[in-house]
Amino acid sequence: MAAAKPAVHEGGPTPNVFTRRDHHGDSVLDADVAIVGSGAGGATMAAELAEAGFDVIVLEEGGYYQTRDFTADSSAMARQLYRDGGATAAIGNPPILYQEGSAVGGSTVINGGMSWRTPDKILARWDRELGLTGIARELEPYFERVERRIHVAKMDPDVIGIDNQLLKQGADAKGWKVIDNLRNQVHCVGSNRCAFGCPTGAKQSALVSYIPRALHYGARIYADVRVDQITRHGKRATGVIGTVKGTRHRITVRAKLVVAACGAIHTPSLLVRSGFRSPSGQLGHNLSMHPNVKVVAIFDQPVTGWKGTHQAFQVREFQDEGLLFAAVNLPPAVLAMSFEQRGAALGELMSHYDRMVTAGMLCEDTTTGRVRTIDGVPQAFYQLADADAANLKRGVMLLSELLFAAGARRIMLPFQGAEDLLSPDDARRLLARDLPTKGWEVVTVHMMGTARMGPDRAAAVTSPFGVVHDADGLMVADASLFPTPIGVNPMETIMALATRGAGYVIDNAARFLA
């Protein structure tokens, strides 16, 4: 065995964080644990294991940015913080645009910070139908621990923007259930830049919570490294090999335990291209996406939606039907690209920007897609189910009714070629309209399920703790583990499962380090 040969300059701006600039050749490193991905799952596991005394290396494909790097330049932030600049899509009819973070901190750097436990009905189903016996009780202390670490709390009332107030007014007028959103923040002051890196440091993303903690307890982070494959000896994972982006330098990490935490699109692909197969046949299958559509409403009054906190409320009236509503401010450039208008018509429409409220919905999907690995690259395939399309269409109707109840004058739809709505009656007539899904604008940031957990190796890719069935020294710690969609924002569930997985490793340290 070759001696460890770290070909990096020690002592960059942040101790133990190494970026592309620190490499001057190929490296061979040793660690107890190599974690691929530094988002909700990877960072959590890194911090817990490092504090327990494990020697941990985290490899992250994206760059290392800090709070001071997050500016008001939305497109520059998108290019830096999103995988492929945000231009990623699942193939289907309609295609579903999805976004993933690609930076130290992963998607927690660009998400809205909504922090919800897995709903009881979902955990009950996992317990009852999927063999995850007692999971609700088991996860309870891990949820508590995560909430403490990332400071899950309601918003300070004085930073709630007009767009969110209008959403609540509309829900109240309809008599619908609307709740304060719980988010991982310490005195969010409403810069409304969650999706482009929180410039105030209020959002407790992994970048400012679990990552500093992991570093404090000795973990090392290698940013700008794309892991090409997990090395193995038979069915035992022995480490990873990656490439420093923008260079030809190779980095090899030899480790006793490898944790794949690169999200539900890339984790199955990494396992497949490393030669791991699941006897369940489920690796890469079971992809859920929480498909999401939005409407844009124009009000008479100024809204100035970019002043105020992101998603202060969630409308939960239709949660049992798999729908959540929230208001989300989008910068003018992102909004403009979603409109069909062009030329003078686009200019006229955008002149109302300050009076616009953008509201969207999350749909708990009933179908699944899959991730295939083509030439070593993952590609998602997902066909929106008729039932989910009908649910989204109904959701657009309900959300439009809510916005009219709040005083909206005009509502623009996410359906290509569809006329704008001018009244609640127009909204109610939506259900009768023929709106071919191929012209729908559907997006998501919640990809789940492609390495589902469960006790039965014939039905699941990993054990209930994330240990890959039929492999040694290999775990998964991200939303790939979810056996079903969860119907709420997934970050806290990912963190709780990762914490539980870390506990399992600590409890069985002798086995993992053998």
Partner 1 sequence: MAAAYRHSATARAVLRSLVPVICPPEAIELGDAIIDHMELSLAASPPALHRGFALGMVVYDLGALARHARRARSLRGDRAERYYERWVHARTPLNRQLARGINQLMSMACYEQPAMMERVGYRPAPWIAEVTQRRLTVFHDDVRRQAEQILAPDPLRPGVRVKRERA
Choices 146-154, 390-398, 443-451, 468-476; region in contact with partner 1 by CB under 8 A? 146-154
The residue among 133 and 341 lying less far from partner 1, judged by its C-beta, is 341
Residue 344 has, within 13 A of its CA and on its CB side, a CA count of 0
**CA 451/CA 297 separation, integer angstroms:** 39
469 carries an active-site annotation:
no
Binds partner 1 by CB under 8 A, chosen from 72, 91, 124, 387? 72
Active-site residue, selected from the candidate residues 285, 310, 446, 469: 446
Nearest distance from C-beta of residue 486 to partner 1, angstroms: 23
Residue 407 has, within 13 A of its CA and on its CB side, a CA count of 15
Beta bridge partners of 315: 178, 325
Binds partner 1 by CB under 8 A, chosen from 124, 140, 177, 346? 346
The residue among 58 and 283 lying less far from partner 1, judged by its C-beta, is 58
Work out whether 275 is an interface residue with partner 1 (CB under 8 A).
no
Work out whether 78 is an interface residue with partner 1 (CB under 8 A).
yes
* 216 Cα distance to chain centroid: 25
The residue among 313 and 512 lying less far from partner 1, judged by its C-beta, is 512
* 229 Cα distance to chain centroid: 23
Nearest distance from C-beta of residue 252 to partner 1, angstroms: 13
Ordered DSSP codes for 272-312: HHTT---TTS-TT--BB---EEEEEEE-SS---TTSS-S--
Nearest distance from C-beta of residue 204 to partner 1, angstroms: 7
Of 276-295, binders to partner 1 (CB under 8 A) are none
The answer to whether 486 touches 132, Cβ cutoff 8 Å, is no
Beta bridge partners of 363: 323
Binds partner 1 by CB under 8 A, chosen from 91, 124, 189, 390? 189
The secondary structure of 345-388, three-state, reads HHHHHHCCHHHEEEEEEEECCCCCEEEEEECCEEEEECCCCHHH
Q: What is the chain's alpha carbon radius of gyration, rounded to the nearest angstrom?
A: 23
Of 82-121, binders to partner 1 (CB under 8 A) are 82, 84-88
Work out whether 147 is an interface residue with partner 1 (CB under 8 A).
no
| Backbone φ, ψ for residue 468 (5° rounding) | -65, 125
Nearest distance from C-beta of residue 145 to partner 1, angstroms: 7
Binds partner 1 by CB under 8 A, chosen from 25, 119, 212, 279? 212
The residue among 141 and 281 lying less far from partner 1, judged by its C-beta, is 141
Decide: residue 314, CB within 10 A, 0-12 exposed, 13-18 middle, 19+ buried.
buried
Residues in contact with partner 1, total (CB under 8 A)? 80
Q: Measured over all CA atoms, what is the biggest interatomic distance in the chain, rounded to whole angstroms?
A: 74
Binds partner 1 by CB under 8 A, chosen from 140, 340, 386, 419? 340
Work out whether 202 is an interface residue with partner 1 (CB under 8 A).
yes
Work out whether 71 is an interface residue with partner 1 (CB under 8 A).
yes
| Binding letters toward partner 1, positions 23-52, x by CB under 8 A | -------xxx---------------x--xx
Decide: residue 237, CB within 10 A, 0-12 exposed, 13-18 middle, 19+ buried.
buried
Work out whether 201 is an interface residue with partner 1 (CB under 8 A).
yes
Binds partner 1 by CB under 8 A, chosen from 7, 12, 20, 383? 20
Segments of 95-190 assigned E as strands: 96-98, 152-153, 178-180, 183-184
Q: Which residues are catalytic?
A: 446
